[in-house]
A and B are shown apart, each in its own frame.
Chain A
């Protein structure tokens, strides 16, 4: 984290000076006053400058944009990066042509970039709460969720009809959750997961 110590005749002046050096606005820093200073008598005798420490707050949007811009540049992908910092979750949307290459097979590339970004974001804020990061492009996440819900319902019907349990292919926790919650209220089947990460699979069974 970047922080500097600044002095000035008054606290306000010291802060002003610091902001000029850091080239940021006041809302982007946290201010700690070490010494309020003393004007002295007639501004001459025994005057002491005010001292403050300014610390630039972690700006997730800036970190995320910088990392992704460089990453995508080096991958040879041109696109716009939209970042929204919502309370405990950082939402990134990528807009451009040929986003397929960015999504990859079953979203594996998108998930990999999302994971790396979350590591970079959370590395810089060890003292703060864990920040979740979601990267999306072309509404892929929502479309994938709809596909999984449809798949879940179709397989649940098969399970009920043939009274045989079905094991799905390995999925990440996020996608497994979608399947589980889609069938949670299904009166004919129950679901659970089997195996070890990263090969954990959802199993759909008929309810006895």
Chain B
């Protein structure tokens, strides 16, 4: 799941090297924290969070396959 967020983020930003993704797993839910360079924030959030929403939707679909709940946070 972590790799999925990483791939999407790296494909969108201008500084792929600054993309950092960490995963905190709980019993049923997983929290994925996404960090990008400050100037790339807009590239992963988008107007009215449209990009962030799209990322969460894709991750959610992948997570349903594994019966998990995934929360993607952009820090």
In the bound assembly, the distance between CA atoms of A125 and B65 in angstroms comes to: 34
- Are B58 and A75 interface neighbours, CB within 8 A? yes
Query: Which A residues are in CB contact (< 8 Å) with B57?
Result: 104, 108-109, 111-112
The secondary structure that dominates the B interface is helix
Name the distance in Å between B36's Cβ and chain A's nearest Cβ: 14
- Residues 34-76 of A contacting B (Cβ, < 8 Å): 67, 70-71, 74-76
- How many Cβ-Cβ contacts under 8 Å join chain A to chain B? 59
Among A67, A71, A119, contact of B4 (Cβ-Cβ < 8 Å):
A71
Among A67, A74, A102, A113, residue most surrounded by chain B Cβ atoms (within 10 Å): A74
Contact bitstring B38-75, A, C-beta under 8 A = 1, else 0: 00000000001011011101101110111000000000
Q: Chain B interface residue count: which class?
A: 20 to 34
Among B61, B65, B66, residue most surrounded by chain A Cβ atoms (within 10 Å): B61
Name the distance in Å between A59's Cβ and chain B's nearest Cβ: 16
In the bound assembly, the distance between CA atoms of A111 and B61 in angstroms comes to: 12
Contact bitstring A98-130, B, C-beta under 8 A = 1, else 0: 000110100011011101100110010000000
- Are A112 and B65 interface neighbours, CB within 8 A? no
- Are B11 and A113 interface neighbours, CB within 8 A? no
In the bound assembly, the distance between CA atoms of A115 and B55 in angstroms comes to: 10
Known: A112-B53, A112-B57, A119-B51. A74 touches B12 (CB 8 A): no
Among A101, A111, A120, contact of B11 (Cβ-Cβ < 8 Å):
A120
Cβ-based interface call for B7 (8 A) = yes
Residues in chain A within 8 A of chain B (CB atoms): 67, 70-71, 74-76, 101-102, 104, 108-109, 111-113, 115-116, 119-120, 123, 197-198
What are the 4 A-B residue pairs with the smallest beta carbon separation, nearest first? A112-B57, A112-B54, A75-B62, A74-B4
